[in-house]
A = this chain, B = another copy of it.
Amino acid sequence: MTLDPTRHPDWQLAQEAESHMKPILTLAAEMGLESSEILPYGHYMGKIEQQAVLQRLADKPDGLYIDVTAITPTPLGEGKSTTTIGLVQGLARRGLRSSAAIRQPSGGPTMGMKGSAAGGGLSQCIPLAPYSLNFTGDIHAVGAAHNLAMTALTSRMQHERNYDDATLERLSGMRRLNIDPTRVNTGWVVDFCAQALRHVVIGIEGEGRRNDGFMMRSHFDITVASEVMSILSVARDLRDLRQRMGRMVLALDRDGKPVTTADLQVDGAMTAWLVEAVKPNLIQTMEGQPVLVHTGPFGNIALGQSSVIADRVGLKLSEAHVTESGFAAEMGYEKFWNLKCRYSGLTPDAAVLVATVRALKYHGGAPQLRPGQPLPEAYTHEDLALVEAGCVNLLHHLGIVRRSGVPAVVCLNRFHTDTQAELDTVRRICEKAGARVAVSDHWARGGEGALELADAVLDACRTDRRAFRPLYDWNLPLRERIVRIAREVYGADGVDFEPLAAQRLAALQERPDAAELGVCMVKTQYSLSDDPSRRGVPASWRLHVRDALLFGGAGLVVPVAGDISLMPGTGSRPGFRNIDVDVETGQVSGLF
């Protein structure tokens, strides 16, 4: 690379790396894919025929399985994706066939504020623009399947209003579903931050108009928050996906019974829209290692990690496969550990806990940070006391990983403003706690900067004791599982269930499949507690569970212990204003 990452935006660095990318067929062949197992999408992207690969390599042992998680982040983020890519580049320099698995970014944050979710600096995946925009169409396909279900539901409600039983049955060939318009919980989806669609009224009737829908309140979520996306991320294969697709509960009927996608006979067609989306996508790091990009479930409500399928495939094809869990360890790693590993049947060999001096200072009491505003001085000048005070947060997250029985490596993701004394302080505290630590410079130097991290991870995989064990038995009642998570992972004193939550959990507990339902928490990622303003390791607090949702297709019960916004907003200075296209080359500029 000739460009300097401290002086050029990510998209310019990516464009330079793209000028010498490997063609997708070369990349696939290097990974050991047969030519029938790769579906090219243009010259540099592809989809993997996962069913064929998993069948062919059924007897091949899996590679090393490494999860990347983080301490509680500041509002600016601490570089988990960057570390994931950097680590893969570092492992490759140590001679291992390595791959990453990351999520596909949503158009909402990409256009709104966040820009690329492809990593940063010299640790990004490429080609950047297609990855950040339409890519191979998976999010679009998820949106289509979801909105098709809503089209089926709302048109059915119209027809059931318009016809008596006999006419309805004769015209439609289906008995009345008797959908209760006051209990339609599912909304529509669009993959932008369109706050104007958060609360809407649809099907507005006029005098005598009977064919413009059924008037009711409704809402739009961002597409990545769709249960369809969640299903795609947990499905083991197309068969599993097909079955789950029929179990989505869109509403209740007037007797309180669920009205599912199967009841509407729309589940087969929904699956038809997803036949390609079930195949993981393949692109590459800036240094030419495979990156599997698959699904983008919204961390706020779903697992917030890339798919079970992508990890299964990556482990068969690589000697080391690095996957990323969204949010901090008490949220993302907890779901990886107790949900994703259960769905996949896989167990990790090591976990990387990403920390930054910036975030440690934040937890140590430095001033508030806001995206787009200049950093307060505490963050740009040496302050050992703040760093030291903030390490409590790191040590708590380290304890979470250890509780799972998985070897941990702390990765200090280095910024150019960090001083040696600050880095040494963190190292000393971690080593005193018996933890492996690596300072990593992959943002500025790519794989070369990640060698210490790669070595520490390999060492942990090869020599540390490993005794992976779930936090709880799924036969435990749902409420007890929530209490275990709150006390043993978050560090709460206990859990308060509001009446609505208690009642819904009790009803869910009565279901014959209660022991098959996963508990997928909703809570802020900006604190270990349920109050985003509390930094470090909050003490003397109880988790407050307000509600519990059921996602029947994904097989998840979602206890809600925080504000749940499934439709972010677009601010007054949105990122899309910087984006443009070179009309000669088609290259996209301004994604940062």
The listed residue (B42, B195, B239, B574) touching A39 by CB distance below 8 A is B42
Does A195 lie within 8 Å of B171, measured CB to CB? no
Q: Which residues of chain B come closer than 8 Å to A159, judged between CB atoms?
A: 571-572
Interface-forming stretch among A127-135, A309-317, A319-327, A417-425?
A127-135
Does B574 lie within 8 Å of A111, measured CB to CB? no
Q: Which residues of chain B come closer than 8 Å to A190, judged between CB atoms?
A: 147, 188, 190
Q: Which residues of chain B come closer than 8 Å to A43, judged between CB atoms?
A: 39
A195 vs B188: C-alpha distance when bound (angstroms): 13
| With known contacts A239-B583, A266-B577, A583-B242, A197–B213 Cβ distance under 8 A | yes
For residue A249, give the distance in angstroms from its CB to the closest CB of chain B: 19
Does B275 lie within 8 Å of A581, measured CB to CB? yes
Does B579 lie within 8 Å of A276, measured CB to CB? no
A residues 270-326 in Cβ contact with B at 8 Å: 271-273, 275-276
The listed residue (B111, B141, B200, B574) touching A134 by CB distance below 8 A is B141
A570 vs B203: C-alpha distance when bound (angstroms): 13
Does B268 lie within 8 Å of A580, measured CB to CB? yes
Does A199 lie within 8 Å of B212, measured CB to CB? yes
The listed residue (B41, B275, B573) touching A173 by CB distance below 8 A is B573
Does A196 lie within 8 Å of B140, measured CB to CB? no
| With known contacts A140-B137, A201-B204, A150–B194 Cβ distance under 8 A | yes
Does B192 lie within 8 Å of A203, measured CB to CB? no
A residues 145-168 in Cβ contact with B at 8 Å: 147-148, 150-152, 154-155, 157-159, 163, 168
A194 vs B561: C-alpha distance when bound (angstroms): 34
Does A195 lie within 8 Å of B211, measured CB to CB? yes
A279 closest partner in B (C-beta): B586
For residue A24, give the distance in angstroms from its CB to the closest CB of chain B: 9
A569 vs B133: C-alpha distance when bound (angstroms): 30
Does A570 lie within 8 Å of B152, measured CB to CB? yes
A428 vs B76: C-alpha distance when bound (angstroms): 78
For residue A305, give the distance in angstroms from its CB to the closest CB of chain B: 24
Does B144 lie within 8 Å of A134, measured CB to CB? yes
Does A171 lie within 8 Å of B572, measured CB to CB? yes
A270 closest partner in B (C-beta): B576
> Does A535 count as interface, using CB distance less than 8 angstroms?
no
Q: Which residues of chain B come closer than 8 Å to A212, judged between CB atoms?
A: 195-196, 198-199
Q: What's the number of copies of this chain in the assembled complex?
A: 2
> Does A47 count as interface, using CB distance less than 8 angstroms?
yes
A residues 432-477 in Cβ contact with B at 8 Å: none
Does A147 lie within 8 Å of B192, measured CB to CB? yes
A470 vs B268: C-alpha distance when bound (angstroms): 48
For residue A275, give the distance in angstroms from its CB to the closest CB of chain B: 5
Give the A interface residue count (CB, 8 A). Answer: 84
A403 vs B140: C-alpha distance when bound (angstroms): 44
Among A107, A212, A571, A576, the most chain B Cβ lie within 10 Å of the Cβ of: A576
> Does A191 count as interface, using CB distance less than 8 angstroms?
yes
| With known contacts A144-B107, A148-B192, A192-B151, A276–B134 Cβ distance under 8 A | yes
> Does A193 count as interface, using CB distance less than 8 angstroms?
yes
Among A204, A238, A572, the most chain B Cβ lie within 10 Å of the Cβ of: A572
Interface mask (A469-493 → B, CB under 8 Å = 1, otherwise 0): 0000000000000000000000000
Does B172 lie within 8 Å of A573, measured CB to CB? yes
Does B47 lie within 8 Å of A194, measured CB to CB? no
> Does A590 count as interface, using CB distance less than 8 angstroms?
yes
Q: Which residues of chain B come closer than 8 Å to A200, judged between CB atoms?
A: 200-204
Does B586 lie within 8 Å of A238, measured CB to CB? yes
> Does A40 count as interface, using CB distance less than 8 angstroms?
yes
For residue A582, give the distance in angstroms from its CB to the closest CB of chain B: 9
Q: Which residues of chain B come closer than 8 Å to A193, judged between CB atoms?
A: 151, 155
Does A133 lie within 8 Å of B273, measured CB to CB? yes
A197 closest partner in B (C-beta): B202
Interface mask (A188-230 → B, CB under 8 Å = 1, otherwise 0): 1011111111111111101000011110000000000000000
A160 closest partner in B (C-beta): B572
22 sample A-B contacts, Cβ–Cβ < 8 Å, listed by A number: A39-B43, A111-B269, A134-B273, A134-B276, A137-B140, A140-B140, A140-B141, A151-B192, A151-B194, A151-B196, A155-B570, A157-B196, A171-B573, A172-B572, A190-B190, A195-B212, A197-B203, A201-B204, A238-B581, A268-B590, A269-B579, A275-B581
Extra inter-chain contacts (9) besides given A136-B137, A200-B202, CB under 8 Å:
A39-B41, A42-B47, A42-B276, A134-B140, A150-B194, A194-B213, A238-B586, A271-B580, A272-B588
